[in-house]
Amino acid sequence: MAPGHRSILIAGAGTTGLTAALELARRGFRPRIVDNDTGTVPLVESRALGVNARTLTLLAASRVTDAILQEAQQIAQFRMVANGKPLAVLDTTKVPGRYSAIHALAQGHTERLLLGKLDDYEVDPEWQTVLETVSGDLQKPVVTLRKPDGSVETAQFDIVIGADGAHSAVRKALGIGFPGEALESSFYLADFRYKREIDPHFFEMQLFDPGMIGRLPVERDVLRYISTLPDFESRIEHPAPVAERLWASNFRIHFRHVETMSKGNVFLAGDAAHIHSPAGARGMNLGIEDACWLAWLISEGREGDYNRLRMPAVKTVLKQTRQLTTLFTMRNPLAISIRNIAVPVLFRLPAVSRKLLRGVSGYDTPSPPWIDGAL
């Protein structure tokens, strides 16, 4: 069947849904994409910052990568400091391939770049449109959509993609469980704008006994601090005078993934299918990866392989983020002492730093077979 003749609905216009729409549109499909919000996430409330090399590889064909590289900050180093003393440094530019391991760009910017490219294919998200139910024969699912004026549309599609985030209505409608665990402690974040430019090219993790504060670049004059300590703001050593505290939030971390990423012709991608801690900056990147794989499989008529091909990647990333989170959040004094002795030694081992860099780059999941030479 010609691409344009398969009707596709994407629920959710976050990074996952927008990527799915763009990857389908550039292959000749005309997906509909709906979102219950009024537009993309506000620039100052961006959750994801890290864009990894895998994502840059995947988004090169749609030219979103060029646009990201123009706006993003390249992160050249990952530094770990324990109680004020340098513990380890990882050079994040030393990875094979075209792109360095990770760049920083606020999620709101990434969403706007995806939206801009999608507009070239005349596919526009239908905002303030809520997917309420998915029912019927899941080989040809029936969906109800509540429109901005309150009216309800009922429509049948060949394919439905649930990219509707952690509380996914699509996942719930399919009766797919979301097993896993929540960490007991909360995480806190705050973004600060400075009165002058700061060095945006490194990410630093300060470890205390116990607790941590991570420092991440957002823009040339904006930094994000993320911490396990409720009073972390009083411990921040600002690199320049603060112009403005832009945003602050707190959240709990869950590690969960679905038992299956598809039922019939209904597919789950991104946070709808898996959530985990921000350690390693994987969530948005993994959702973008899901979306690219699904669009490719649909174009090949092989969407039935989606769950089998994606689930190992999801499990790999959840395991890696769980290990990193444990390393950064340990509370036992003996374990903390051992960590502080072991980390400098381990980081110097080429095999360990290579493995870490593969994870940060996103190269530890299967490489996309449709891209020549992809790592």
Ligand X SMILES: Cc1cc2nc3c(=O)[nH]c(=O)nc-3n(C[C@H](O)[C@H](O)[C@H](O)COP(=O)(O)OP(=O)(O)OC[C@H]3O[C@@H](n4cnc5c(N)ncnc54)[C@H](O)[C@@H]3O)c2cc1C
For the bound state, the minimum distance from the C-beta of residue 1 to ligand X, rounded and expressed in Å, comes to 26
Q: Closer to ligand X at the Cβ: 67 or 170?
A: 170
Q: Is 196 in the site for ligand X (CB under 6 A)?
A: no
Contacting range for ligand X; rule: CB under 6 A; set: 34-42, 254-262, 322-330, 331-339: 34-42
Q: Closer to ligand X at the Cβ: 16 or 100?
A: 16
Q: Is 361 in the site for ligand X (CB under 6 A)?
A: no
368 DSSP 8-state letter: P
* Residues ≥6 apart with Cβ < 8 Å to 7: 32, 156, 157, 158, 159
Residue appearing with tokens 């749609």: 62
Among 35, 191, 289, 364, binds ligand X (CB under 6 A): 35
For the bound state, the minimum distance from the C-beta of residue 339 to ligand X, rounded and expressed in Å, comes to 23
Return d(Cα 304, Cα 213) in angstroms, integer.
43
Return d(Cα 170, Cα 149) in angstroms, integer.
22
Among 287, 296, 307, 359, binds ligand X (CB under 6 A): 287
User: Are 226 and 188 in contact, with CB atoms under 8 Å apart?
Assistant: yes
Q: Closer to ligand X at the Cβ: 119 or 251?
A: 251
Could you write out the DSSP letters of every residue in 122-134? T---BTT-EEEEE
Residue appearing with tokens 């439905």: 160
Contacting range for ligand X; rule: CB under 6 A; set: 85-93, 162-170, 177-185, 192-200: 162-170
Could you write out the DSSP letters of every residue in 19-65? HHHHHHHTTT---EEE-SSSSSPPGGG----EEEHHHHHHTTTTTHH
Number of residues that bind ligand X (CB under 6 A): 33
Three-class SS string for 232-285?
HHHHCCCCCCEEEEEEEEEEEEEEEECCCCEECCEEECHHHCEECCCCCCCHHH
Q: Residues 195, 196, 200, 203: is their CA dihedral positive or negative?
A: negative
Q: Closer to ligand X at the Cβ: 215 or 282?
A: 282
Q: Is 8 in the site for ligand X (CB under 6 A)?
A: no
**From residue 73, how far is each of 16, 101, 106, 349 by CA, in Å?**
22, 12, 10, 27
Q: Is 271 in the site for ligand X (CB under 6 A)?
A: yes
Q: Is 34 in the site for ligand X (CB under 6 A)?
A: yes
Among 21, 24, 49, 101, binds ligand X (CB under 6 A): 49
Among 15, 62, 265, 320, binds ligand X (CB under 6 A): 15
User: Are 205 and 214 in contact, with CB atoms under 8 Å apart?
Assistant: yes
**From residue 212, how far is each of 48, 225, 236, 324, 358 by CA, in Å?**
19, 10, 11, 12, 24
Q: Is 191 in the site for ligand X (CB under 6 A)?
A: no
Among 45, 182, 250, 251, binds ligand X (CB under 6 A): 251
Contacting range for ligand X; rule: CB under 6 A; set: 71-79, 80-88, 276-284, 301-309: 276-284
Contacting range for ligand X; rule: CB under 6 A; set: 2-10, 67-75, 160-168, 202-210: 160-168
Among 270, 317, 358, 364, binds ligand X (CB under 6 A): 270
Give contact residues for ligand X (rule: CB under 6 A).
11-17, 34-37, 47-50, 107, 130-131, 163-165, 169, 189, 251, 270-271, 278, 281-285, 287
